[in-house]
Chain A
Amino acid sequence: MSIALTMLFNGLTYGVLLFVMAVGLSVTMGMMNFANLAHVSLAMLGGYLTITAMDHLGVSFLVSLPLAFLGTMAFSWVLERLVLRHFYGTDDLTQVLLTIGLLFMSVSTVAYIWGPSFKPITMPAVLTGQMPVMGLSLERYRLFLLAIGIALALALVFGLERTRFGAMVRACVDNRRAASGCGLNIQRIFALTFAIGGGLAGLGGALAANLLTLDPNFPLRYLIYMLIVVSVGGMGSVAGTLLASVVIGIGDVVGKYYVPQAGGIMIYLVTVVIMLVRPQGLLGRPA
């Protein structure tokens, strides 16, 4: 029983990681109809930024997290302004190919700058080891992840539902043309949303550096997971992305533990069935 609960917990925290990495992609896809596969490269960038900050600036892991967020956010903003915004009107396939090209380039560039091998990360003592919680012995780092995930999800919901900027973002997701007609500066909202989404991906990558192997092939390994989470959850829906992340995270961890020979088959099967029954995703709006 305690093994099952621990597995459930591990899957939940894995889902939280997926959520932090993917939520920005979901919002930008829902808003601009832009399929940015290179989003997963931004997550990798965040991971490497956090390692660089710790190695070269000598800061602790907790301080490096906001740095990774801000650094990736700045990079995303530049990327959007310089390259991506020219492709908003194009068809899905052009966007997919363009961003796959960028993803390939990111893999080699990161290998060139940081070296092709796996980068380990040293955690502060507070976040290592186990901790007893209600009779279970849980990893401290995963508890920390869970706390961050809950805080972020609340902050996102609050930001989208209760702030002025959130209202603008929702207006753009609902109807870009009408929002523009009401005098909203669409381009600026896009750019800022994209940058925040990219920053969150960077934060997710920084958080993942300890749990998932961080090496230049990171984007190729996790691209499929990110796409699955976004499309199963429904593009543009924060709650949907959270739901899908948790379902996929738990499904993956529990599935691989109890039926190791099936590997990723469970996840793919769930994805195919959900996409066939609800092409718009669990909480997405019908096309």
Chain B
Amino acid sequence: MSAHRLYFANQARWSGWELAFWLAWVVAFFIPQSNLALLSQILIWGLFAVSMDLLLGYRGLPSFGQAAFFGIGAYTAGYLSKFGWTEPISGLLVSGAVAGVVGLAAGRVVRGLHGVALLMVTLGLNSLLYDFVQRSTELTGGDDGLPGVGFAPVLGLFKFDMIGRTGYLYTLVACFVIFLLLRALVRSPYGLALLGARDNPRRMQMLGAPIDRDLTLVMGLSAAVAGMAGALLTQTTQFVAPEVLSFQRSADVLVILVIGGAGFLYGGFIGALAFIFLRDLFAALNPIYWYFWIGLLLVLTVTFFRRGLLPALADLWGHRRKPVAVDAKHPKSQEVAP
């Protein structure tokens, strides 16, 4: 076997940690008292954060507008069901496709930008969409949510039930399948090209890599994943309101990813677990001041574990994986010393 084939074969190998991670979600289903609705929420947040990871961790692009794609997916799923297309799996795929196409367009628009300008344009586009959806009450129901959302049983067999058993399994399977595809993607030559463009775009250009085209494509892919996460939320809760598009959600997903660690796909899920559990814990301790602790957590994370909680713990245990994410501390690679 040639060297590069060996490399990719090596990359594709599953480690025990990864298997244990996914098995834990299956086990959680069978634990009698587990709160499946909450766990579904965590999986959805996790998948959403993974979409951000594709953009930020692998391509080094920060965005304040990721919730726009999440919301587009969520509303597409909602409208499909409102107009009679209640089959969930095809609804999920269509929602992802719609969000993906919008993502491609957005990627085409922003590809000349970086740094503050990029953050501002993504923030502006996100706020634009949010304001529009929130104010078009006849069209979207405004803050009361879209009326008439409901879904047919999954595969025609499993109805979405009150305690969320179907919803949980459906979300878990969807997340796992999407994750498998992304895992293959980031370990492919395309994934390597993204990392290269993240770390040194100028050099990648000199090597003849089409970094502009790659960027548009990765925005589209990331948007499609975010859109499917949004569709999962609509389908499992049978509800969609403008909150899915809010700037707060865009900021929260960044926080989740950074807490979990960017650049190795699992960071999104770990961050979502930590974020949602801590949020519930702090909110139960004190409903008014809980955001203080989230803020402190964020400050401590960027100060002491810049690469995220999990990589920091892995360092501690000496189990440092040889990750693709060599250095999640993206240097300002665009900058050249004067």
Most buried by B among A101, A111, A175: A101
Q: How far is the CB of B109 from chain A (nearest CB, A)?
A: 7
- A63 interface residue, CB < 8 Å from B? no
- B258 interface residue, CB < 8 Å from A? yes
4 tightest CB-CB pairs across the interface, nearest first?
A: A104-B295, A101-B298, A108-B292, A279-B117
- B123 interface residue, CB < 8 Å from A? yes
Cross-chain pairs A/B with CB under 8 angstroms, 7 sampled: A100-B298, A112-B289, A262-B135, A265-B128, A268-B127, A276-B109, A276-B110
Number of interface residues of A (CB under 8 A): 44
Partner of B127, one of A29, A108, A264: A264
User: Which stretch in B21-29, B149-157, B324-332 binds the other chain?
Assistant: B324-332
Most buried by B among A91, A112, A269, A271: A91
The answer to whether B116 and A235 touch across the interface, beta carbons within 8 angstroms, is yes
Binary interface profile of A, 20-44, with partner B (CB < 8 Å = 1, else 0)?
Answer: 0000000001000001000000000
- B120 interface residue, CB < 8 Å from A? yes
Give A94-143 interface residues, CB cut-off 8 Å to B. 94, 96-98, 100-109, 111-112, 116
**Alpha-carbon separation in the docked complex, A107 to B296 (Å):** 12
Q: Which residue from chain A places its CB closest to the CB of B296 in the assembled complex?
A: A105
Measured between beta carbons, the chain B residues less than 8 angstroms from A101 are 294-299, 302
The answer to whether A104 and B258 touch across the interface, beta carbons within 8 angstroms, is no
Most buried by A among B113, B132, B251, B331: B251
Give A218-232 interface residues, CB cut-off 8 Å to B. 224, 227-228, 231
- A211 interface residue, CB < 8 Å from B? no
**Alpha-carbon separation in the docked complex, A92 to B330 (Å):** 9
Q: Which residue from chain A places its CB closest to the CB of B247 in the assembled complex?
A: A224
Given A224-B123, A271-B120, check contact A264 B131 (CB 8 Å): yes
Binary interface profile of B, 98-124, with partner A (CB < 8 Å = 1, else 0)?
Answer: 000000000001101101110111011
The answer to whether A105 and B288 touch across the interface, beta carbons within 8 angstroms, is no
The answer to whether A97 and B302 touch across the interface, beta carbons within 8 angstroms, is yes
- B255 interface residue, CB < 8 Å from A? yes
**Alpha-carbon separation in the docked complex, A263 to B132 (Å):** 8
Q: How far is the CB of B110 from chain A (nearest CB, A)?
A: 8
Query: What is the interface of chain B, defined by CB distance below 8 A to chain A?
Result: 56, 62, 109-110, 112-113, 115-117, 119-121, 123-125, 127-128, 131-132, 135, 247, 251, 254-255, 258, 288-292, 294-299, 301-303, 306, 329-332, 338
The answer to whether A104 and B135 touch across the interface, beta carbons within 8 angstroms, is no
The answer to whether B112 and A272 touch across the interface, beta carbons within 8 angstroms, is no
- A275 interface residue, CB < 8 Å from B? yes
Binary interface profile of A, 249-263, with partner B (CB < 8 Å = 1, else 0)?
Answer: 000000000000111
The answer to whether B302 and A91 touch across the interface, beta carbons within 8 angstroms, is no
The answer to whether A111 and B289 touch across the interface, beta carbons within 8 angstroms, is yes
Measured between beta carbons, the chain A residues less than 8 angstroms from B56 are 93
Q: How far is the CB of B106 from chain A (nearest CB, A)?
A: 11
- A280 interface residue, CB < 8 Å from B? yes
Q: Which residue from chain B places its CB closest to the CB of A35 in the assembled complex?
A: B116
The answer to whether A268 and B128 touch across the interface, beta carbons within 8 angstroms, is yes
Measured between beta carbons, the chain A residues less than 8 angstroms from B288 are 108, 111, 116
Measured between beta carbons, the chain B residues less than 8 angstroms from A97 are 254-255, 258, 298, 301-302
Q: How far is the CB of A7 from chain B (nearest CB, A)?
A: 21
Q: How far is the CB of B180 from chain A (nearest CB, A)?
A: 28
**Alpha-carbon separation in the docked complex, A108 to B285 (Å):** 14
- A177 interface residue, CB < 8 Å from B? yes
**Alpha-carbon separation in the docked complex, A263 to B134 (Å):** 10
The answer to whether A272 and B258 touch across the interface, beta carbons within 8 angstroms, is no
The answer to whether A261 and B135 touch across the interface, beta carbons within 8 angstroms, is yes
**Alpha-carbon separation in the docked complex, A240 to B132 (Å):** 29
Measured between beta carbons, the chain B residues less than 8 angstroms from A263 are 131, 135
Measured between beta carbons, the chain B residues less than 8 angstroms from A90 are 329
Given A108-B289, A109-B292, A116-B288, check contact A91 B329 (CB 8 Å): yes
Given A96-B62, A231-B117, A263-B135, check contact A91 B330 (CB 8 Å): yes
Partner of B124, one of A96, A108, A116, A271: A271
Given A101-B297, A177-B338, A227-B120, 8 more pairs with CB closer than 8 A = A96-B62, A98-B298, A98-B302, A101-B298, A263-B135, A265-B128, A272-B121, A275-B121
Measured between beta carbons, the chain B residues less than 8 angstroms from A108 are 288-292, 295
